[in-house]
Amino acid sequence: MFPLQDTVRSREFPIVNWLLIAANVLIFLLESSLGPRQLQGLLTVCGVVPARFLRLGPFDPIQLLTIFTSMFLHGGWWHLISNMWALFIFGDNVEDRMGHVRYLVFYLLCGFAASLAHIFMVPASTVPTVGASGAISGVLAAYLVLFPTARVITFVPLFFLPWFVEVPALIYLGMWFLSQLFNGLFTLMPGMEMYGGVAWWAHVGGFLCGLLLVGLFARRRRYRPWYPDEFYPW
């Protein structure tokens, strides 16, 4: 299933969410302008390398900086598009409920926790890890908590025919998290640390961090107990 749209409309312009998307796209365009050796050097220097992080120590300022720089680097067009599309669909509503500054801090903290989870679970890995998916996983968790009755319009290619299905956000995001967890558990098998080239535990860590922090970052002002537009047809 590929998400197309959710049924919740944001009430304020999500400036931080758009700035995050723009920053990721612009940095990826910069990556694309580099030669293979330069690009590999950039990813190695600015990505999170668990073995290097633990060898130099968690208080090394350069290694701490890589946790943040890695959030804005991507390994390919599909990596970038899939991440930015998820941020576009779900991030605006989370920013709407948190406010601009709180949302930015929340996003960065989830990305930070995601990197630490990846480092802890695959400490011997020497593969640079990049991508915004850990931070976005926290955004998905916040969306799940803040909009449990929302629905996600998904595209399902079935026998070459397009099917558009409304899936409750609780089910869609719950299934997504379970898939990340099970894939993460699979990587615990010997030799499978980077199964699929995906940092599964970063997704799990970012999601759990989002669940823990969303209550602290959601604005305290009164909201109606439900949003009528959560039930509008697409």
> What pLDDT, on a 0 to 100 scale, did the predictor assign at position 132?
95
> What pLDDT, on a 0 to 100 scale, did the predictor assign at position 224?
52
Q: pLDDT tens digits, residue range 208-224?
A: 999 999 999 998 755 55
Contact call for residues 114 and 189 (beta carbons, < 8 A): no
> How many CA within 13 A on the CB side of residue 136?
27
What domains, with CATH codes, occur in the chain? 2-222 (1.20.1540.10)
pTM score of the predicted model: 0.88
Contact call for residues 42 and 34 (beta carbons, < 8 A): yes
> What pLDDT, on a 0 to 100 scale, did the predictor assign at position 165?
79
Low-confidence ranges of the chain (pLDDT < 50): 225-226, 229-234
